[in-house]
Amino acid sequence: MTGGTVLIRQAMILTLDAGDRILESGDILIRCGVIEAVGTVAAEASAAADRVIEARGMLAVPGLVNAHMHSQSGTMAGFGDRLSHPAFMWLTQAHTSRRTPEEIRLAVLLCAAQMLQSGTTAAIDHFPGQRFTVAEMDTVLAAWAETGMRATLGMRFFDGAFSDIVPAGAGLPPELAAAAASVDILQPHPLEALREEMPEIVRRWHGHAGRIGVFPAPSNPDRCSDEALVFCAELADQHDLGIHTHLLETRAQAEIAARRYGTTTVEHLDRLGVLSGRWSCAHCIWLDDSDIARMAGHGVVAVHNPESNARIGAGRMRTPDLLGAGVPVALGTDGSGANDNLILQEAMRAAALLHRADLPDRTRWVSARDALRMATEGGARALRLEGRIGRLEPGFRADLALYRLDHPWWVPVNDPVAQLVFAETGAAVSHVLVDGRILVEDGRITSFDAAGALAEIRDRIASMKRRNADLFAVAEAIARAIP
Ligand SMILES: [Zn+2]
């Protein structure tokens, strides 16, 4: 109910406000989707609330923000261990291509179910993996609207060659290269079409229901023409949008940039005049010191995906260096093909732990509070919703989760921030609200039929795989050729 009032009573409250206050017991009053009071709520306002949630024994936390995921990969958990990046990308193509509208919708519901049940309230969906149609974008955006989550769609495109995963010079036998070319799945999206389609999608959907956003989203700058990157920057300026992309995830991408631009991708974007605080960039692994300085100077958001990077061996983002330089850092899970669930607590934990063993200066370690800041304030910045989500403070949108403190890893409560990052798995989440609307209640999703969606995916997955048998054959051949 975004129109009424909700009162959350007697919760422990992790405000994440400017003073980082933790209230041992307080109330939260929500009116028309916005937090009106935190702590003590006037008796007359309490008495008039349309809905009361008794939250004694629960911890209220701002909803987490997953600043990089791919809904189309939601069905891929558990596949393909120890693959090269090209083999992984081809298997992803085989899994996610040629979907029907209903299959696109079901994959969104599957992802939303995982995120909502683990206390994530907002996400950037970098969609799809192939050339998109406007109808597909309508379908995926309608699905996000159906979930009740706050979601921004990154309109993922490439108008150039996908040269980092079709490595002609990587010893691919000619017949395999020909097979990869024959499946017709990595066709560039002509810029003339993008100039028509992207503004139309923005017009239809950006701002929908007060919680749906649309950003232009290069698949990767190296897979796009300079003209297309300039077009994204112009479109973003015109409509006050962000720009989302993958950036320097693999060593191969850094090498392609060096050959193509004669410099790094970040310096190239800067010289092109498009780099700005509108950008949120997933991975940011193969950066040099000058790239980090440029990103800090422009306020470019780096979206850290620690588990995905580890799972496919892409490398490690230099998180302590980026934080030290003042680069805003957000957190993502990436798609379920590269990281098998969308549980952001695990990404926070990985972000905090991955650097410790080889960083003797403990003052530079990513702390639990740093990781939580990435998953809240950093994510808000990536979605361009800074000051609107990420805190439990009057004036902020009422996006939050309640965690049951009777779960074993919360007994006793020693340090709510450290336990949220180092102990919580998402399983203690009891209630989730977005814009003051209750989407999860007593651990069950109430905003859509999650069980029905999961059952439908189980029924369909075999036929979805049969449909793409030709793509699976190419993917397997590439996995053999580039092990
Ligand atoms: Zn990704």
* pLDDT given at position 142: 98
**Distance (Å) from CA 208 to ligand 1 centroid:** 24
Distance from residue 307's CA to the centre of ligand 1 (Å):
12
Topology, domain 5-62+391-445 = Urease, subunit C; domain 1 (2.30.40)
Beta-carbon contacts of residue 398 (< 8 Å; ≥ 6 apart): 6, 28, 30, 33, 34, 35, 433, 434, 435, 436
Q: What are the extents of the domains in the chain?
A: 5-62+391-445, 64-382
Q: How far does the centroid of ligand 1 lie from the alpha carbon of residue 391, in Å?
A: 26
**Distance of CA 111 from the midpoint of ligand 1 (Å):** 14
Spell out the residues 6+ positions from residue 63 whose beta carbon is closer than 8 angstroms to its own.
119, 120, 121, 122, 150, 389, 399, 400, 401, 432, 433, 434
CA of 28 to the centre of ligand 1 (A): 36
For domain 64-382, say whether CATH 3.20.20.140 is its number: yes
> What is the pLDDT at residue 1?
47
CA of 293 to the centre of ligand 1 (A): 23
Each residue of 227-282: pLDDT tens digit?
999 999 999 999 999 999 999 999 989 999 999 999 999 999 999 999 999 999 99
Vertex 478 angle, CA 473 and 480, to 5°: 100
The dihedral built from the CA positions of residue 441, 123, 330 and 353, taken in this order, carries a sign that is positive
366-410 tens-digit pLDDT: 999 999 999 999 999 999 999 999 999 999 999 999 999 999 999
The segments of the chain whose pLDDT lies below 70 read: 1-3, 166-172
Q: Is the dihedral of CA 240, 244, 247, 252 positive or negative?
A: negative
Distance between Cα 68 and ligand 1 center (Å) = 6
Q: Which residue has the tokens 């969606």?
A: 453
Q: How far is the CA of 397 from the centre of ligand 1 (A)?
A: 27
* Distance of CA 70 from the midpoint of ligand 1 (Å): 6
Distance 158 CA to ligand 1 centre (A): 14
Q: How far is the CA of 422 from the centre of ligand 1 (A)?
A: 24
| Ligand 1: centre distance to CA 127 (Å) | 9
Question: How many Å lie between the centroid of ligand 1 and the Cα of residue 219?
Answer: 9
Nearest to 327 by CA among 227, 396, 247: 247
Query: Of 415, 363, 255, 381, which is closest to residue 391 (Cα–Cα)?
Result: 381
